[in-house]
Amino acid sequence: MNKLFVPLAVVAAAMFVYAPFMILAAPYESTMGLVQKIFYFHAPIGMTMFMSAFVCGIGSAIFLFTRRPGADRVAVAAAELTAILGIIVLVTGPLWARKAWGVWWEWDARLTSSLVLWLIFEAYLLLRRYGGPGSDRLAAGVAIFGMANVPFVYWSVNVWRTMHPKTSVVPTLLPGMRGPFWFCFLAFTIFYVLTLHLRTRLEKRRAELEAVYLATEE
């Protein structure tokens, strides 16, 4: 991973620089016009957020059943990333909604479930910070419950009637829109992997530092 880091970072940076041009060139959506362009960031970040919730959940499960500290470090990093990506989704969404639906927020299935998912991972972070010793295992339990929430969020749009675009939108995108969308998705995935790696390294260094301190206290 270390050898790939810099080249991947360069690729990601280049993609992010190029993305706005692709997005500007994409055709306008018929009913929503210019504001629909938020989609090219909002939706990929939403998908990355769900992916991150899964990473955290799987890492937590591995940690819980094998006690490998590396898995816990990945889980912490993924939880923090889920929270950050969640904030982005929950802010860009209403900005789009204000123009497209006329309201900032609607208590429909997808929005409520996404907010709940974000809350769950914020709760994970709070538990890790204020729960005291042993909170790593407790938080792992929370993350597993949180991960169980993800598929529920995803198909809730299809189960209940809702204003939010259905999940069938992405597979049926027109070529003009498909390009920028998947381009942005790839860019965000690379960004996610890189940031996860960095954040996990931070946890590793913190653990090493603590070990050093413990070792030097006779």
Partner 1 sequence: MTFVRAVWLITRKDLLIEARSKEILLTTLFFSVSCVLVFAFGFVREGRAVENAAAGILWIAIAFSGTLALGRAFERERQSETLRALMIAPIPRPALYLGKLLGIVLLLAAVEAIVVPLVSLMFQAPLFAYPWLTVGLLATGTIGFAAVGTMFAAMLVRARSRDVLLPVLLYPITIPVIIAGVRGTAALLQAEVDLPMARLWLSMLVFFDVVFVTLALWTFEPVMTE
Partner 2 sequence: MIPKTTVACVALLLVLLWPGGPALAQQQPPPAQPSAAQEGFVPVDQLPKPQDTMPAARLVAIAYAFVWVMLFGYVVSIWRRLSSVERELESVSRRIGSGGRTP
- Contact set with partner 1 (CB under 8 A): 64-65, 112-113, 116, 119-120, 123, 126-127, 130-132, 134-135, 137-138, 140-142, 144-146, 148-149, 152
- Residue 186 identity (one-letter amino acid): L
Instruction: Note whether 164 and 90 are within 8 A (CB).
Output: no
Q: Choose the one of partner 1, partner 2, none that binds residue 141, judging by a C-beta under 5 to 8 angstroms depending on kind.
A: partner 1
Q: Is 38 in the site for partner 2 (CB under 8 A)?
A: yes
Which residues, numbered 117-176, are part of the site for partner 2 (CB under 8 A)? none
State the nearest-atom distance from the C-beta of 36 to partner 1, in Å. Answer: 29
Instruction: Note whether 180 and 26 are within 8 A (CB).
Output: yes
> What whole-number distance in Å separates Cα of residue 144 and Cα of residue 122?
14
CB-nearer residue toward partner 2: 94 or 131: 94
Q: Which of 120, 159, 157 is nearest to 142 (CA)?
A: 120
CB-nearer residue toward partner 1: 148 or 209: 148
State the nearest-atom distance from the C-beta of 80 to partner 2, in Å. Answer: 8
Written as six digits, the tokens of 202 are 């931070």
- From the list 89-97, 127-135, 141-149, 153-161, the region that binds partner 2 by CB under 8 A is 89-97
Q: Say if residue 122 is exposed, middle or buried (CB neighbours under 10 Å; 0-12, 13-18, 19+).
A: middle
